[in-house]
């Protein structure tokens, strides 16, 4: 046996020993249960209130979603010029209102003068809200209007911007003032924003995974050291695929579930995909079409009960 072969075998043996040792000593660290995530059956979250059925992020959309039987909302937030938190996705108002420009350059009062249903196209191809005046909704208004609903709050302002630097503290202050710590989830594409928010919240609010958290978890899952992964978030809200990587594998869903982390998938508008994800273990469907998702989940649960929960 040559020196190179002996060295390779020694390295392999050392790696195996390290893996076995860490496996024996370190146990997976589950997240503590959060009240908002303490549900048994899969849930439906209306994406921006159900953006294919009514103008996104408007009270009309949120109320319609509630009437359809959703369990909660998935919303986005941004900061206005006068530092008010509004429920809004894009950084500009061009796509959804009769105005133009950046949200950060408008005051709340100025935003309320715009029609936030201006560009909404209904399923029949009409524009039913073009002549109406649908005002923007503040996060405070939404939380007060629906006091018993799950709300997933996605911070959209980048941490590198002035607005983004203020958002975590302002969001925590509002959540604390309203006493809604146990019925919201705070997340962001920017993991840094979730970390900043938690400096104030101190794990008193459920946290959603940012892109960095998702990549760390998936890397751990596909490695031999998955038992070393210690999550710092409470729920994963992810697409079925991230580039070429499939994130909807039953084993990945189960891996996170064993860490007390439910997985929600967005934005799912096709019924066959909803059914597939539910069968694979998804705990939430985020959708623009709650009119389709709510019946699908109910039928899934009926079938599950009929089969004895198998």
- Residue 120 phi, psi dihedral angles, 5° rounding: -70, 125
pLDDT by position in tens, the chain (length 310): 555 454 443 444 434 434 344 444 445 578 888 999 999 999 999 999 999 999 999 999 999 999 999 999 999 999 999 999 999 999 999 999 999 999 999 999 999 999 999 999 999 999 999 998 899 999 999 999 999 999 999 999 999 999 999 999 999 999 999 999 999 999 999 999 999 999 999 999 999 999 999 999 999 998 866 577 889 999 999 999 988 889 999 999 999 999 999 999 999 999 999 999 999 999 999 999 999 999 999 999 999 888 765 5
Q: Which pTM value belongs to this model?
A: 0.89
**Fold of the domain built from segment(s) 29-306:** TIM Barrel (3.20.20)
DSSP 115-144: -TTTT---TTS--TTTTS-----BHHHHHH
DSSP-H helix ranges across the chain: 3-25, 59-68, 108-112, 139-145, 162-178, 191-201, 211-222, 250-257, 271-280, 290-306
Angle between helices 290-306 and 271-280 (to 10 degrees): 40
Rounded Cα gap, residues 223 and 239, in angstroms: 21
């Amino acid at each position: 046996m040559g020196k190179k072969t002996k060295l390779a075998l020694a390295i392999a043996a050392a790696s195996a020993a390290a893996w076995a040792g860490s496996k024996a000593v370190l146990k997976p660290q589950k997240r503590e249960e959060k009240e908002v995530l303490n549900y048994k059956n899969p849930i439906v979250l209306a994406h921006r209130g159900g953006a294919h059925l009514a103008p996104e992020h408007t009270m009309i959309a949120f109320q319609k979603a509630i009437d359809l039987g959703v369990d909660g909302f998935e919303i986005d937030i941004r900061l206005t010029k006068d530092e008010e938190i509004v429920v809004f996705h894009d950084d500009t108002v061009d796509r959804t209102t009769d105005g133009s420009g950046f949200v950060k350059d408008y005051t709340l009062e100025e935003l309320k003068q715009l029609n936030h249903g201006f560009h909404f196209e209904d399923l029949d191809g009409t524009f039913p809200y073009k002549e109406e005046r649908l005002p923007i909704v503040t996060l405070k208004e939404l939380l007060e209007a629906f006091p018993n609903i799950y709300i997933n709050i996605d911070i959209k302002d980048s941490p590198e911007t002035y607005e983004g630097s203020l958002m975590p503290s302002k969001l925590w202050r509002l959540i604390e003032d309203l006493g809604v710590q146990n019925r919201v989830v705070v997340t962001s594409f920017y993991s840094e924003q979730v970390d900043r928010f938690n400096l104030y919240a101190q794990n008193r609010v459920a946290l959603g995974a940012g892109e960095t958290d998702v990549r760390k978890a998936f890397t751990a899952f596909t490695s031999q050291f998955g038992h070393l992964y210690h999550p710092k978030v409470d729920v994963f809200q992810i697409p079925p695929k991230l580039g070429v990587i499939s994130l909807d594998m039953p084993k990945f869903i189960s891996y996170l579930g064993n860490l007390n982390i439910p997985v929600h998938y967005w934005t799912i508008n096709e019924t066959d995909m909803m059914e597939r994800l539910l069968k694979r273990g998804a705990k939430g469907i985020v959708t623009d079409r709650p009119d389709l998702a709510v019946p699908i989940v109910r039928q899934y649960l009926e079938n599950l009960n009929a089969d004895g929960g198998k």
